[in-house]
Amino acid sequence: TTLFRSIYVNNNAGTTISVIDPATNKVVQVIEGIEVPEAAQFSPDGGRVYVSSGGENVLYVVDRKTGKHIKKVPLSGYPNDLAVTKDGRRVLICIRTYPGTLDIIDTTTLEKVKSIPSKSGLHDIVVTGDGKYAVVGSPEGEYLTVIDLQSEQPAWEVQFDRGVLPLAIESNPDG
């Protein structure tokens, strides 16, 4: 038995995402027409794939089953990593373009509802296991910011002596 249902591979130098079946090691779907796909994440129900496009500065909303584009949502600038909130109501996108923002997309209306400004371009994002916070990092800014997802405001910041890219959050047993 395989550990993964599908593997999505962004062709960052092109316009496609290859979907691989790990049971056969074969490409079973190609999602086309997304210039410079940066990152991809899924809706909690698995019905949608959200893809940030660096070539167009948009978020593509894609039907996972068919690979067809549902909508292109304009962003504040060049996107990098993205995350979907645990409840599936928001997509959070790190914007690398100076001065940097965290764009928030409502998954019902498929519109940008907020941009949280930062001091420098943002690159990576991780949502806590309990879904209460998002941690975003800046490779140039030497800090990470914790965002309270209920208020959609910065909660606190941690300074470093170099740029940071948060990779994972370890949760306590209580979440």
Confidence at 1, pLDDT banded by 50, 70, 90: very low
Q: Is 62 exposed, middle or buried (0-12, 13-18, 19+ CB in 10 A)?
A: buried
Short-list 157, 115, 120, 116, CA closest to 135: 157
Distance CA 20, CA 14 (A): 17
Mean residue pLDDT across the chain: 93
pTM of the model: 0.93
Q: Is 94 exposed, middle or buried (0-12, 13-18, 19+ CB in 10 A)?
A: buried
Q: Does the pLDDT at position 163 exceed 70?
A: yes
Confidence at 10, pLDDT banded by 50, 70, 90: very high
pLDDT tens for each residue of 128-158: 989 999 999 988 888 899 999 999 999 999 9
Residues contacting 136, CB < 8 A, separation 6+: 92, 94, 102, 118, 122, 124, 125, 144, 145, 147, 166
Distance CA 78, CA 151 (A): 25
pLDDT tens for each residue of 76-127: 999 999 999 999 999 999 999 988 999 999 999 999 999 999 999 999 999 9
Short-list 168, 55, 149, 45, CA closest to 104: 149
User: How many Cα atoms occupy the beta-carbon half-sphere of 95 within 13 Å?
Assistant: 25
